[in-house]
A and B are shown apart, each in its own frame.
Chain A
Amino acid sequence: MANKKVAIIASSPGLETAYKALNIATAAAALDAEVAIFFTFEGLSIIHKDAEQMLKLRPGNEGLAEGFKKVNVPTVPQLLDMAKESGVRMIACQMTVDVMGLEKDHFIDGVELGGAAAFLDFAFDAQVTLNF
């Protein structure tokens, strides 16, 4: 089976973005694809050690909280663990990290820091590119 590549950019705030990006990423890895996620701007909160406090449902979406519980949706840390375990590359955008005054220590283990070129190097020959 030819190896597929999936390149994802996560740049929006909120729990919704975390789920959109991580669900597709983990499923793609299960389908034997190589996956990289580029976290930039508000997307950085997904891989922040304090993600739980930082990631909230967007205003108007609070009603979904019950549904999340009912359907037993995995938590963001669980999805991140699965992603790491299945070899998903997680790249934090160096530029926005600097702009926001963050350090590598603020992020969970396994995150690499890189610039747009590092991500593009991967994305150039990706068959699927997604932007959340």
Chain B
Amino acid sequence: MSREIQTDRVLECERLSCPMPVVKTKKAMEEMKPGEVLEVRATDKGSVADLQSWAKRTGHQYIGLIEENRVFRHFLRKASNNETKAEVKFPHTMSNEELNQKMDSSESIIVLDVREPAEYVFGHIPGAISVPLGQLEEKISQLDPGKEYAVICRTGNRSDMACQILAEHGFSKVKNVVPGMSQWQGATESDE
């Protein structure tokens, strides 16, 4: 049974040996837009170490790996140029620690995770709702403007944009969690 994880593109590298998976991944990533997620399917055992090194070196995000019927399913997200430092414009923020404390004190706060579905699958805050940034506007009617939201992504960039969108739609109790999941020390769960 193959698990469905929403991605923007799947690259078939089954039965290809080194250096093909890395070379093809590089090529595929060049054709993708920042923020998009690529799944690379490879049978080469070396691809595990290779693609993780590749991502580290090129600055793209290695989201996670599923091994299934001898196929390695690698999930990678194309980084944008200004990825590493968050450009925070939304004035209302809270730190990771504040969010963790609020959740411990069972205050009613909804955690909205605006990363890509594949990123969410490999690790998220328990109970967080997944609405990728690109789908926020179309799904906004499913959210309650009267509730309090903590919006989180990986580094605080995408959640900043999400907060601005929410505020434009009349959500008044919204806070951007910075820096976000890249530094999250609290509990997580995965769908894996």
Contacts and interface: CB of A to CB of B under 8 A. Distances in A.
Question: Do these two chains interact?
Answer: yes
Interface of A: 1, 23, 26-27, 29-32, 71-74, 82, 86
- Give chain B's interface residue range (CB within 8 Å of chain A): 10 to 19
B interface: dominant SS: helix
Q: Across chains A and B, which 6 residue pairs bring their CB atoms closest together, nearest first? A: A30-B26, A27-B19, A71-B17, A30-B22, A73-B17, A30-B23
B80 to A, nearest CB: 14
Contact of A72 (B16, B19, B58, B59): B16
Nearest to B59: A1
A interface: dominant SS: loop
B20 interface: yes
A23 B58 contact: no
Contacts of B18: 23, 27
Given A27-B18, A72-B17, A86 B59 contact: no
B113 to A, nearest CB: 28
B59 to A, nearest CB: 6
Interface string B97-140: 00000000000000000000000000000000000000000000
Given A30-B19, A31-B26, 10 more contacts: A1-B58, A1-B59, A26-B19, A27-B50, A29-B23, A29-B26, A30-B22, A30-B26, A32-B58, A71-B17
A17 B59 CA distance: 31
Q: Which residue, of B15, B18, B50, B58, has the highest number of chain A Cβ atoms within 10 A?
A: B18
B58 A27 contact: no
B25 interface: yes
A29 B25 CA distance: 12
A30 B16 contact: no
A87 to B, nearest CB: 12
A72 B15 contact: yes
B57 A1 contact: yes
Nearest to B18: A23
Nearest to A71: B17
A7 B26 CA distance: 20
Contacts of B59: 1
Interface in B58-98: 58-59
A110 B160 CA distance: 48
A27 B17 contact: no
A74 B24 CA distance: 12
B54 interface: yes
A9 to B, nearest CB: 19
Contacts of A32: 57-58
A86 B20 CA distance: 13
Given A71-B17, A73-B17, A27 B22 contact: yes
B19 A23 contact: yes
Contacts of A29: 23, 26
Given A1-B59, A82-B23, A86-B23, A30 B17 contact: no
Nearest to B22: A30
A20 to B, nearest CB: 12
B134 to A, nearest CB: 26
